[in-house]
A and B are shown apart, each in its own frame.
Chain A
């Protein structure tokens, strides 16, 4: 309770330090950092071109030339695994903040405004949530193609909808408190009330939510690729690689195992980070202050 750092940067540093002190935070942050570093540097590190096929052997096991073997077209599995997360990370890395931003702001505004816009918006949100989760994505992708320019806005839009609900609930709790009443009684504009009084008090909730949503979006993205609706071959992607390699699973299990390990470590890393973040920010409701 003491030692609340004042500036935003100071607070962020404090939170980071607290997170690293927890096993889950240390493991999670390490995993995520490693993945991000690999995604940034992999184009210069990979031993082969991701498209180049080695005619001498398809579906080979590990060897000195191909540490993780080759796939059904004779491409180097290690190369493709190292590159296979980049597209997913870039697209979800942009789409998640966008989704949190539009969903969060809409939700907070609805929470403050109430009344009929709130009623109408919540019915629409309910209706969208009642759709089978992956359907709108599949439909839009089938019609407009699988490029990033389609995937990114689509993911950002549909992942923003449940955020509206979360942000609205969080804002409701804040709006009921007297410092918002005080600001209303002073006569601040709604925009200022949202910016100065409400947003600073819901950012913690939205941060944790954002981390969770990022991992779900990654899961969704790789599921799309797996189903053939995501990254287009021959570009490398973990979901796509699993989908391609699982037919030859009995011959070259590494072709499946390698991308699975890569994807799982990233998602576990994000989840552990989100857990540690929640506990550090005191959002874990199972924790109760002593005295």
Chain B
């Protein structure tokens, strides 16, 4: 089992490394660089050369990659292209805010999604299932920006409970952007519930149709005991990986929702950075998001291994 975890970990590192290469190459391949972005119209002749020399852009690509990667490993993402701000500092609060948003959505969404999924799975093709499943399809299909806009229309404009458009700085205490936080996490929760619920429903239906549930019934096990002791532990195991993907998606900065609500998280910073062609910031955010994605999936894999006796001893025997 430990060997398997070690292997997963190594693969995760390879993935993160590949992301760094892709990002670096991608930025290299783009026309223009940090200097053309800073100097704009003056980006020619000596001014450009001087700037490049000053920023170390005249050294070979491989050397620059090594230097950048070494910095990233130590948590130093360099300076943003625009100002003279340290990226690490700039990103720090955004990460906190995005984490808060994700935590809010997860805290409400996961328990709700699991319960709805289980109820829908157990009442397959009867009214609770039809209600929840249709609701899930609606929630999945309405674009995030539409849901967000409708929420603003209702709560900010018609009801006037929250201000419609605010601009809160990223380093403000969380309470100051509480209204945006509530609306944004509502939209995200809805989306997440829809995806996770559908998966849990299918998994519960599969477990309830299994031979071991039939056997438990014929062993005289009461219905609710079958559900909680026999079906659910098996049905919820595959959910771990789906939930992990959702978590990774949430932590990865949810661009559209953050933009609509002006929420000072990673996603909005990413859009701003791209608009400003602030490539060092784009690189930094990408690395953070990719590492989160890999990390969360790794945790889910380890959790599955620890909780699923079949996976655990199967792998152990193979070794």
Closest Cβ–Cβ distance, residue A213 to chain B (whole Å): 13
Q: Does B19 interact with chain A (Cβ within 8 Å)?
A: yes
In contact, B255 and A131 (Cβ under 8 angstroms): no
How many residues on A have C-beta within 8 angstroms of the other chain's C-beta atoms? 44
Q: Does B241 interact with chain A (Cβ within 8 Å)?
A: no
In contact, A131 and B290 (Cβ under 8 angstroms): yes
In contact, A263 and B146 (Cβ under 8 angstroms): yes
7 A-B pairs with CB atoms under 8 Å apart are A131-B286, A135-B274, A219-B141, A227-B256, A239-B143, A256-B150, A272-B137
Q: Does A8 interact with chain B (Cβ within 8 Å)?
A: no
C-alpha gap A123/B22 in the complex (Å): 12
Closest Cβ–Cβ distance, residue B159 to chain A (whole Å): 12
In contact, A286 and B124 (Cβ under 8 angstroms): yes
Q: Does A268 interact with chain B (Cβ within 8 Å)?
A: yes
Note all chain B residues with C-beta closer than 8 A to A239: 143, 145
Decide yes or no: A138 and B252 within 8 Å by CB, A126-B15, A130-B294, A143-B30 being known contacts.
no
C-alpha gap A239/B293 in the complex (Å): 28
Decide yes or no: A256 and B290 within 8 Å by CB, A127-B22, A134-B255, A272-B137 being known contacts.
no
Q: Does B149 interact with chain A (Cβ within 8 Å)?
A: yes
* 0/1 string, A248-267, CB within 8 A of B gives 1: 01100100100010011001
* 0/1 string, A186-203, CB within 8 A of B gives 1: 000000000000000000
Which residue in A223, A272, A284, A286 is a CB contact (below 8 Å) of B143? Answer: A223
Decide yes or no: A131 and B277 within 8 Å by CB, A219-B143, A264-B146 being known contacts.
no
C-alpha gap A264/B139 in the complex (Å): 10
In contact, A256 and B149 (Cβ under 8 angstroms): yes
In contact, A123 and B18 (Cβ under 8 angstroms): yes
Q: A131-B22, A223-B143 are in contact. List 15 more A-B contacts (CB 8 A).
A: A123-B18, A129-B293, A132-B253, A133-B252, A139-B30, A215-B141, A226-B145, A227-B259, A243-B145, A263-B143, A264-B142, A264-B143, A268-B137, A286-B202, A286-B209
In contact, A253 and B205 (Cβ under 8 angstroms): no
Interface of B is mostly: helix
Chain B stretch 140-175: residues in CB contact (< 8 A) with chain A: 140-146, 149-150, 152-153, 157
Closest Cβ–Cβ distance, residue A245 to chain B (whole Å): 9
In contact, A249 and B19 (Cβ under 8 angstroms): no
C-alpha gap A250/B267 in the complex (Å): 27
Closest Cβ–Cβ distance, residue B114 to chain A (whole Å): 17
* 0/1 string, A105-149, CB within 8 A of B gives 1: 000000000000000000110111111111110110011000000
Decide yes or no: A130 and B289 within 8 Å by CB, A142-B274, A242-B145 being known contacts.
yes
Interface residues of A (CB under 8 A from B): 123-124, 126-136, 138-139, 142-143, 215, 219, 222-223, 226-227, 239, 242-243, 246, 249-250, 253, 256, 260, 263-264, 267-268, 270-272, 275, 284-286, 288
Note all chain A residues with C-beta closer than 8 A to B202: 284-286
C-alpha gap A207/B289 in the complex (Å): 31
Q: Does B206 interact with chain A (Cβ within 8 Å)?
A: yes
Residue of A nearest to B17 (CB): A127
In contact, A131 and B18 (Cβ under 8 angstroms): no
In contact, B270 and A285 (Cβ under 8 angstroms): no
Note all chain B residues with C-beta closer than 8 A to A126: 11, 15, 18, 294
Q: Does B31 interact with chain A (Cβ within 8 Å)?
A: yes
Which residue in A136, A253, A288 is a CB contact (below 8 Å) of B153? Answer: A253
Residue of B nearest to A141 (CB): B274
C-alpha gap A260/B145 in the complex (Å): 10
In contact, B137 and A132 (Cβ under 8 angstroms): no
Note all chain B residues with C-beta closer than 8 A to A286: 124, 201-202, 205-206, 209
In contact, A131 and B140 (Cβ under 8 angstroms): no
Q: Does B220 interact with chain A (Cβ within 8 Å)?
A: no
